[in-house]
A and B are shown apart, each in its own frame.
Chain A
């Protein structure tokens, strides 16, 4: 960037783990860290708000309130005091999906801590995806896996909820298990999908496709151009 352009952009002060850096105000926290000179290894992933790699805790200078955000999805502000949480050692229960059922009895064996929820709502307050985390934990406690699956769906598994939980619930892993139980056992399977898969395995779809593969390019092109779009 040339100096002339630089002069036109408003700069802000960013405190990365206590050190002050001056960066353009149009950047995200992630871009701001890179602008400051960090080559990110941890704390950076998809850069688009899907992967949960860049959970960041910050507060504004002079304020006491801790705020959170995904570094790639949050604009820098003047006086931001921040640190990233690049990894959280939350527990994942392992299970054989075919050997369990969507019941509270099974769930309690995998994640007994969800039943110790104090109802403090720290998880919901901290979620950068604005998910009502405590509510889906309540649905799990009641065995309502359909509702838990629905409202937890947008979770990016960043781990911030776990970092604040006073009873050590690993919400994101519990939610993933709930979604898999719902999808495997409560949502109905697609009937025609099973029929089509069976047909392919029996070779019933072979002749139609082999006829295409064996036709010359001109024929294929003609078929493509004339194909009906339904």
Chain B
């Protein structure tokens, strides 16, 4: 029992109101109410946290301060340019930067299309937000659902700011992706007869969330990784890209890699490059805790931007409403949306519900921030922060005993490790920095605005507008990973080996930094967050 003292007393209010809440549906907000709570409480609307870029192809664009700070940095190669005319250490058709779900999916498709492929990744192969995605992956593969219905959910959730062609590709490929993964031996939750078990997520109008218990991303990632290794694709771990190499025509033609362990710089030449470096939660915008992987430091955005790739909606950040708040070891940890999908409800200090449990993430987060900071009805914690309850035991009342153990084993284990039994005790939550809605602008083949540079996964932008729905990220990494892999392989086949390799774009970027004084002494990309205490 981790809830002692004052918190232990407050739990009783949740227990008292529980039976009266079973089967009762709290009303959903109207569009006006949603807009109002977003504008007043969503961190994206707080102008203090943003500034305009002083350099580069999107000069003037509004970015979170912490992201602008890593965009406006000197290259690590400023004073040590490698000799690009020498034979490169690696020489392939398709260079994939990043070893998460998008990179692995791209590698499999590029290899299947006959290309030679290299995956270079900063940490271990599979060290990625993909591995941590718990709740599920969306696809319209039921009789009461269609890709068009999915599309409407995607663009409504995305505040109608999605690029239509990208949202179309996302929903149309979705059933194909599930089939691809099923054929590859991914262990989805199924009924005896093979029917996929699907549930709702925030903002879905049909039950189309496919899951593998609450290890969905881990199950997809380990299956893809296994298959990449089966296919004999070369993977270089602990080797981060620090800048792109361009050819004489300004097309992407490789990258300079940094071996984190020997601290050597190595060059990789490639006909095409796929950037699959993921998100940026470890920049801790506005001081928020994050659910993201250790490596999520926006590296791909930084080096892509330097090479001239345009960004879109990079100022749109997703705060997941249910991050762990207490015990302190769980701060920022993702409490999967599947918990709400199964019926767990957010409650204030009085044990009262204050928001419909399946509002979209942006709205739910804003409602929680409002409850804590304006209405002052949050649960105060010994760590000095405020939080709200997420009543998980109601799941057992609604769906029967044993549901949590069966459907949320990872969640149950994580809380148990720190003394909370979520089957009988509610969770304490607070919004956590979860996802970068925007990124480098792509087209439906994953191609960025720089020729031969593809982007897939969280580093890409435009698919989700300014708010992504649950289950559409695991989907997007596979959809656009596969598309980028196929297209890059196709383009590579038609090309000869790139010539006139250079890093001239860095000189140009540095001149802008010098003229504006924007970089101060900062060097990027960040590669590793700094959590040391001295």
Contact = CB atoms under 8 A, between A and B. Distances in A.
A155 to B, nearest CB: 9
B222 A48 contact: no
A47 B222 CA distance: 17
Interface in B290-335: 291, 293-294, 328-329, 333-334
Contact of B329 (A28, A156, A213): A28
A129 interface: yes
Interface in B99-153: 123-124, 126-127, 131-132, 140-144, 146-149, 151-153
Interface residues of B, number: 83
Contact of A230 (B152, B196, B205): B205
B238 interface: yes
A96 interface: yes
Interface in B142-169: 142-144, 146-149, 151-153, 155-156, 160, 164-165, 168
B533 to A, nearest CB: 5
Nearest to A38: B532
Interface stretch (A10-18, A116-124, A163-171, A179-187): A179-187
Nearest to B187: A183
A149 B127 contact: no
B329 A187 contact: no
Nearest to B384: A5
B261 interface: yes
Contacts of B334: 48
Contact of B132 (A48, A73, A187, A188): A48
Contact of A220 (B155, B176, B179): B155
Contacts of A190: 141, 178, 182, 190, 194-196
Q: Which of B178, B185, B204, B261 has the most CB of A within 10 A?
A: B185
A49 B160 contact: no
Interface string A185-216: 00111111110110011000100110111000
B38 to A, nearest CB: 15
Interface stretch (B47-55, B60-68, B410-418): B410-418
Interface stretch (A29-37, A59-67, A77-85): A29-37
Interface stretch (B223-231, B368-376, B512-520): B223-231
Contacts of B164: 213
A218 B193 CA distance: 42
Contacts of B152: 212, 220, 223-224, 227
B294 A205 contact: no
Contacts of A48: 132, 291, 333-334, 414
A176 interface: yes
Contacts of B227: 97
A55 to B, nearest CB: 12
B182 A183 contact: yes
A45 B147 contact: no
A52 B218 CA distance: 11
Contacts of B222: 157, 176
A73 B414 contact: yes
Contacts of A212: 148, 151-152
Contacts of A187: 187, 190, 194
Contact of A45 (B141, B196, B294): B294
A50 interface: yes
B183 interface: yes
Contacts of A154: 213, 215, 409-410, 413
A53 B413 contact: no
A192 B142 contact: yes
B530 interface: yes
A129 B414 CA distance: 10
Interface in B210-253: 212-213, 215, 217-219, 222-223, 226-227, 229-230, 232, 238
Contacts of B175: 193, 196-197, 200
* Residue of A49, A74, A156, A200 with most partner-chain B CB within 10 A: A200
A224 B31 CA distance: 10
Contacts of B141: 190, 192-193, 196-197
A34 B533 contact: yes
Given A51-B127, A190-B195, A230-B144, A209 B172 contact: yes
A221 B155 CA distance: 9
A189 B187 CA distance: 11
B417 A182 contact: no
A205 B31 contact: no
A42 interface: yes
B80 interface: no
Nearest to B232: A94
A211 B531 CA distance: 50
A41 interface: yes
Interface in B176-208: 176, 178-179, 182-188, 190, 192-196, 204-207
B197 to A, nearest CB: 10
B193 A213 contact: no
Interface string B396-422: 000000000000011001100110000
B260 interface: yes
B160 A53 contact: no
A38 B533 CA distance: 9
B146 A194 contact: no
Given A39-B528, A153-B213, A97 B230 contact: yes
A191 B333 contact: no
B126 A51 contact: yes
B131 A46 contact: yes
Given A46-B293, A48-B414, A180-B185, A196 B140 contact: yes
B534 interface: yes
Contact of A49 (B148, B185, B193, B410): B410
Given A42-B238, A46-B293, A205-B148, A189 B333 contact: no
Given A34-B532, A37-B533, A209-B171, A47 B294 contact: yes
Given A48-B333, A180-B223, A196-B140, 17 more contacts: A26-B329, A41-B528, A45-B127, A47-B294, A50-B132, A129-B413, A180-B187, A188-B192, A188-B193, A190-B196, A192-B143, A193-B175, A193-B196, A197-B175, A217-B160, A227-B156, A230-B144
What are the nearest 4 A-B pairs in CB distance?
A188-B194, A180-B185, A224-B156, A184-B185
9 contacts: A39-B530, A41-B261, A45-B131, A154-B409, A188-B193, A200-B175, A201-B176, A211-B148, A229-B204
